Amino acid sequence: MSLDGDTLSVIENPVAVSHPFHSEKTAGVAGAKGVQGWLKGFQSTTQVKLLLRPSSSQSPVGLGDTKETSFCNVTEDISVSDSRKVFYRISPENSLLEIQLGKLPTWLPVCYERWNSSLGTLVCRQLGYLRLTKHKGVNLTDIGPNYTDGFIQITSEQKSSLENMWQFRRSCITGKVIALQCFECGTRAKLPRIIGGVEATLGRWPWQVSLYYSNRHTCGGSIITSQWVVTAAHCVHNYRLPQISSWVVYAGIVTRSSAKTAQHAGYAVEKIIYNKNYNHRTHDSDIALMKLRTPFNFSDTIRPICLPQHDYDLPGGTQCWISGWGYTQPDGVHSPDTLKEAPVPIISTKKCNSSCMYNGEITARMLCAGYTEGKVDACQGDSGGPLVCQDDNVWRLVGVVSWGTGCAEPNHPGVYTKVAKFLGWIYEMIENY
């Protein structure tokens, strides 16, 4: 993806940003009848279309005529366009890198010739991993006679893109192929499964963090490395002269009351970077990064989430999960102490942009998830938290809780920042800062 040179805004001590809201009613997820109306993006109370609950005398902003809404039936577009010509995977049996060129039906190992660690990093990032951990050449004689259909080799001429670097070969000159390991993420410890529950157990979402501002839960976030957290730009944008030291990140907790205890002292924030293309009116590019002063100690309850694979769109209907401490009722009163979770299906942008949903407001950098009938959703206090989907046996951060009309309103599902559109920006920020 292309990356504009100016897509960066860095906040350091002292800093001028303004918090989306400072009322004491900030925090929580949704749940009285099932998980009702929880986890949704929040902004300043002047922006009615976000999360202000309309009075009974008003119709919800953007909801339109209820007669029209009842007849609005946009079919879900379950097909997904995949523009990739090259597909990558790492064999779980022997860690060999395997590539499928679009026109070839089989997965083939990659010859060791011309290989280097920089290519390894690029391949790992294509797969949604932040970096390369280990790589080596493996003798073909050591892996048995499984690979007889040929090999993929790096072309001799320097190509501008990773996609164009590969060519089919009948044999490898060195008799070696590539094995590699990428930065581990998106896994969780073996835990008892929850049947029908909405409260999350410790370690179930080990990448989920609580961002405290001035000693109060304000937003959620997701761990992507030992020192970096992804959250929403609107959580950190436009503050009134706060100090960076006012922010503390709590990880490895499911109850907010356990924060600030001896076991959970919290992590100080060194730097906040929000995407400079963030637009607080349209909520476009609503993504930010936090760098910690000291790294997380990874454990069964604190682990990083994988990023999405490069250039891949999830089809509508894909089952994903949201989690957070946001309001459990749209009235903004019930904010739970315990982390809540709920399954939500992806809604195609075509459907979400229809006249009875968001009527064209969903940009290419947003995605929708939830239910046409409402009932399960993100709400205030969940902003910046994760929308995660399981893929290739790992969990991936597909979305960041951003905004929506009300909480769990019919025909107004949650809107999330589409993380796949910001991979280049994330990699660049982490490398440069």
State the Rg of the chain over Cα.
Answer: 22
CA distance 422 to 285: 8
Q: Which helix (H) or strand (E) element contains residue 352? A: helix 349-352
Among all chains, which residue has been given the structure tokens 């991936």?
A: 396
Among all chains, which residue has been given the structure tokens 């070696």?
A: 176
**Active-site residue (options: 284, 286, 313, 382):** 286
Q: Token digits for 310?
A: 């490069």
The torsion angles phi and psi of 12, rounded to 5 degrees, stand at -135, 170
Closest CA to 80 of 320, 389, 348: 348
**Active-site residue (options: 335, 354, 383, 402):** 383
CA distance 24 to 299: 33
Alpha-carbon distances of 111 from 119, 121, 124, 135, rounded to whole Å: 13, 17, 17, 13
* β strands within 313-426, DSSP E: 319-324, 340-347, 366-369, 386-391, 394-403, 414-418
Q: Which helix (H) or strand (E) element contains residue 71? A: helix 66-71
- Whether 286 is a known active-site residue: answer yes
The number of beta carbons lying within 10 Å of the beta carbon of residue 350 is 13
CB contact set of 213 (below 8 Å; sequence gap of 6+): 19, 219, 242, 246, 247
Strand 97-101 with 86-90, pairing: antiparallel
Among all chains, which residue has been given the structure tokens 């760098």?
A: 291
CA distance 114 to 120: 12
Cβ–Cβ under 8 Å, residues 94 and 179 = yes
DSSP string, 295-312: -----SS--PPBPPPTT-
**Active-site residue (options: 217, 234, 310, 412):** 234
Closest CA to 382 of 37, 24, 10: 37
CA distance 130 to 224: 8
Closest CA to 224 of 422, 3, 92, 25: 422
Cis peptide bond prior to 105, omega within 30° of 0: no
- Whether 65 is a known active-site residue: answer no
CA distance 288 to 417: 10
- Whether 331 is a known active-site residue: answer no
Q: Which residues are catalytic?
A: 234, 286, 383
